[in-house]
C-alpha cells in the first residue's frame, strides 16, 4: 500500500474529508486527486470506502478512473463502496476500465480507448477525450478528435479549434475538419 507507517497517515473516521484536508479551499480536481490518493494508498479499508463514496458524488473522468482501479481492492467493503459510487454517478460500468486505459503509458492503449469511447453515448467520455487532444502521440490525438465527433458534444468545438491552430499535421487537420462539421450539424 503506502510506504509511510500507519501512524503517519490521516485517520479520517471521526471527521469529514473536507474538514481534515481543508479541501473546501481546493479546486474540485485537487479534491478528486486527494480522494483518489486515499482510495489507492490508505491502509484502512474504512477510509478507502469513504473516499470511494465521496468520489461517487463527482461526475468526473478522474473520479471514474480512481474508482475503476479500486474495483480490484482486496477489501469487499471497498469494492461495495465502489459499486455504490458508480451507481450514484449513474455510471456506465464499461466506461471505468476504458477511462483507465486512456491514461496508459502505451499510446496504442490510449488510441484504442479513444475509439472505444466513440461508441458510448455518455457525457462523461467528453472531457477525458478533450484531454487526449493534447496527447504527445499523433494517433491518439486523431482518435480523440474522431471520437469527439461521434459523441457530438458541443464542448469539444473550442478545444478542437485550438488544436487545429497549433497542429498542422494534414491527417489531424482533416479529422478535425470532419469532426467540426459533424458537431455543427448536431447543434
Q: Chunk the chain into consecutive blocks of 10 residues (it has 187) and report each block's average pLDDT, rounded to whole numbers.
A: 35 38 55 93 95 86 81 87 82 70 89 90 86 96 97 96 97 98 90
pLDDT of residue 178: 97
pLDDT of residue 16: 37
pLDDT of residue 37: 94
Cβ(70)–Cβ(36) below 8 Å? no
pLDDT of residue 88: 79
C-alpha distances in Å from residue 84, one per residue of 46, 51, 81, 136, 180: 14, 12, 5, 35, 37
Domains of the chain: 1-91 (1.25.10.10), 94-187 (1.25.10.10)
Q: Where are the beta strands (DSSP E) in the chain?
A: none
pLDDT of residue 104: 85
pLDDT of residue 78: 92
Distance of alpha carbon 113 from alpha carbon 144, whole angstroms: 9
Cβ(133)–Cβ(160) below 8 Å? yes
Cβ(98)–Cβ(116) below 8 Å? yes
C-alpha distances in Å from residue 106, one per residue of 40, 65, 75, 111: 21, 16, 29, 9
pLDDT of residue 13: 35
pLDDT of residue 162: 97
Cβ(89)–Cβ(59) below 8 Å? yes
Distance of alpha carbon 178 from alpha carbon 187, whole angstroms: 15
pTM: 0.60
Amino acid at each position: 500500500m503506502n510506504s509511510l507507517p500507519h501512524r503517519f497517515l490521516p485517520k479520517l473516521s471521526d471527521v469529514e474529508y473536507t474538514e481534515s484536508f481543508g479541501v473546501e479551499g481546493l479546486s474540485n480536481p485537487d479534491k478528486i486527486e486527494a480522494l483518489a490518493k486515499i482510495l489507492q494508498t490508505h491502509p484502512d479499508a474504512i477510509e478507502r470506502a469513504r473516499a470511494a463514496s465521496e468520489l461517487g458524488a463527482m461526475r468526473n473522468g478522474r473520479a471514474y478512473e480512481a474508482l475503476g482501479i479500486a474495483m480490484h481492492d482486496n477489501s469487499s467493503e471497498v469494492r461495495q463502496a465502489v459499486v455504490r459510487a458508480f451507481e450514484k454517478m449513474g455510471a456506465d460500468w464499461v466506461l471505468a476500465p476504458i477511462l483507465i486505459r486512456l491514461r496508459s503509458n502505451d499510446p496504442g492503449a490510449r488510441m484504442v480507448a479513444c475509439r472505444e469511447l466513440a461508441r458510448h453515448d455518455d457525457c462523461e467520455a467528453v472531457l477525458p477525450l478533450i484531454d487526449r487532444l493534447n496527447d504527445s502521440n499523433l494517433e491518439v490525438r486523431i482518435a480523440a478528435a474522431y471520437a469527439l465527433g461521434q459523441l457530438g458534444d458541443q464542448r469539444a468545438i473550442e478545444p478542437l479549434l485550438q488544436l487545429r491552430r497549433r497542429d498542422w499535421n494534414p491527417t489531424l487537420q482533416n479529422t478535425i475538419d470532419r469532426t467540426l462539421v459533424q458537431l455543427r450539424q448536431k447543434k
